[in-house]
Structure 1
Amino acid sequence: MTVLRAVLDAARSGAVEILDLTTPLHAATPVLELPEPFANTSRFRLDELSRYDDRGPAWYWNDIHTGEHTGTHLDAPVHWITGRGGLDVSQAPMSTLVSAAAVIDMTAEAAKDPDFVLEVDHIRTWEAEHGPLPEGGWLLYRTGWDARGGDPAAFANADEAGPHTPGLSAECARWLAEESPLTGVGVETVGIDAGAAMGFEPPFPCHHYLLGAGKWGLTSLRNLGLLPPTGALLIVCPLPIVSGSGSPTRVLALVER
């Protein structure tokens, strides 16, 4: 039996479960909102072209209007000034789009403090229990934030001081970019940085360090609580937008049961 046939048979039997880690796209899907004077992305919108009517009697279809960074999406290195000249989303290597996933769970910490940030020591503690981060793989950072995904206000969790959402410290972002073997980092929040990261040094350190190092980001993931700490295979499916800084993305995980 070939390897691929064995995987297919395992998926059909349930020995391998295929999990969807993607936020559905619709008009209320949360998007990142920047303060003035910065430009903001458009929300997702469908414009109906025909629906079995005189515009098209036998077919239904729509135009899609959205930003590159809407819903679950992939951040390409070229998205940030430190990655200027780097790969665009259409150039993502297949080894980045299909790779191993490590899941670190900080749900309890984020529940106590929405501004909680992941530190290098948290990752070292995880590695002491589960082994090293996967070479060329993804670190998926679970905070429980996906439970807020149906409520844009709760998802943004903003007040007069700005949004309060968990993320990574500047030192952790630098370490993952420069010293870890990872290809990228995925989060449940609207962006790969913490809500307060504009005030970090440097501002938005995940974007600054990770994308500057040619690594990738995934945002607005769901269902990370269904994944084991190690052993899942991540499949990332962005649109191959030429010169694109990112793309809405379907993200799947294969997990042995």
Structure 2
Amino acid sequence: MSQLTGLLTSLAAGEVRVVDLTNTLSNETPTIRLPEPFANLVDFSLEEVSAYNEPGPLWKHHNISTGEHIGTHLDAPVHWATGRGGKDVSQIEPSRLVGPACVLDVTREAAADADFLVDVEHVKAWEDRHGPIPENAWLLVRTGWGAYAQDPIRFLNADEAGAHTPGFTVECARWLADVAPISGVGVETVGIDAGLAPTMDPIFPLHHFLLGADKYGVTSLQNLDRLPATGAVIVVAPLPILGGTGSPARVLAFVDGAHG
């Protein structure tokens, strides 16, 4: 039996499950709002073209309009100034979009402090317990924020001081870019950086370091509580947009059926 045949057999038998880590995409999907004078992306929308009527009697279809960085989406290197001249979303190798999932659970810390920042020590403590992060892995940070994804006010959690959502320290962002053998980082929040990242030096440090190092980010993930700390495989599937700085993505995980 080939390995692929074995995978299909395991899927059919329920020995391997597919977990959807993607948030639904609609005109109510929460998105980042930048303050003036910066420009914002358009929200996702559907425009009906036909619906089993005169414009299309046997079919229904729509035009869609959306920014690249809406909902569950991938950030490509060219999205950030430090990745200028790097890969657009269509140029990312498929092998970099599939890899081991390493789930770092900081739900307790994020529940106690919405501005909680993952530091290098948290990742190293994970490695002490579960072993070294494998090559080409995706570090998925579980904060519990996915539970708020259908509530824009709670999800964005903004006040006059800015947004209050978990993220990474500057030191951790640099370490993930320069040392960790990962392809990317995935988060449950609206962006890969903390809500207060504009106050850091450099601003938006995970964007700054990660994308500048030819590594990638995925945001607005769901169902990370259904993944084990190790052992799952993640598949990130963005649209291959020529020149695209990112794309809405369907993100799936293959999980041992014994888990959960």
Which bracket does the TM-score occupy, shorter chain normalised? over 0.9
Alignment match, 1:144: 144
- Note if 1:94 corresponds to 2:86: no
Q: CA RMSD in A?
A: 0.5
Matches within 5 A, 1:96-115: 96-115=96-115
Answer whether contact 1:73 1:246 (CA < 8 A) is retained.
Answer: yes
The residue identity in structure 2 corresponding to 1:33 is R
Once residues 130 and 233 of structure 2 are traced to their aligned partners in structure 1, the CA distance between those partners, rounded to angstroms, is: 16
Matches within 5 A, 1:62-73: 62-73=62-73
Moved over 4 A (4+): none
Answer whether contact 1:89 1:244 (CA < 8 A) is retained.
Answer: yes
Answer whether contact 1:109 1:116 (CA < 8 A) is retained.
Answer: yes
The residue identity in structure 2 corresponding to 1:106 is V
The residue identity in structure 2 corresponding to 1:128 is D
Shift of 1:75: 0.2
The residue identity in structure 2 corresponding to 1:117 is L
Answer whether contact 1:101 1:134 (CA < 8 A) is retained.
Answer: no
Alignment match, 2:30: 30
Once residues 56 and 182 of structure 2 are traced to their aligned partners in structure 1, the CA distance between those partners, rounded to angstroms, is: 48
Matches within 5 A, 1:1-257: 1-257=1-257
Q: TM-score, normalised by structure 2?
A: 0.98
Once residues 236 and 4 of structure 1 are traced to their aligned partners in structure 2, the CA distance between those partners, rounded to angstroms, is: 19
Answer whether contact 2:69 2:246 (CA < 8 A) is retained.
Answer: yes
Answer whether contact 1:30 1:149 (CA < 8 A) is retained.
Answer: yes
> Could you report, residue by residue, the CA deviation over 1:92-129 in whole angstroms, capped at 9, with x for unpaired residues?
11121111110000000000000000000011111000
- Matched residue of 1:249: which SS? strand
**Which moves more between the two structures, 238-247 or 88-97?**
88-97
Answer whether contact 2:97 2:183 (CA < 8 A) is retained.
Answer: no
Once residues 187 and 74 of structure 1 are traced to their aligned partners in structure 2, the CA distance between those partners, rounded to angstroms, is: 11
Number of aligned residue pairs: give it: 257
Shift of 1:197: 0.2
The residue identity in structure 2 corresponding to 1:165 is T
* Aligned sequence identity (%): 58
Q: TM-score, normalised by structure 1?
A: 0.99
- Matched residue of 1:183: which SS? strand
> Could you report, residue by residue, the CA deviation over 1:122-165 in whole angstroms, capped at 9, with x for unpaired residues?
11111000001121110000000000001001000000111000
The residue identity in structure 2 corresponding to 1:85 is G
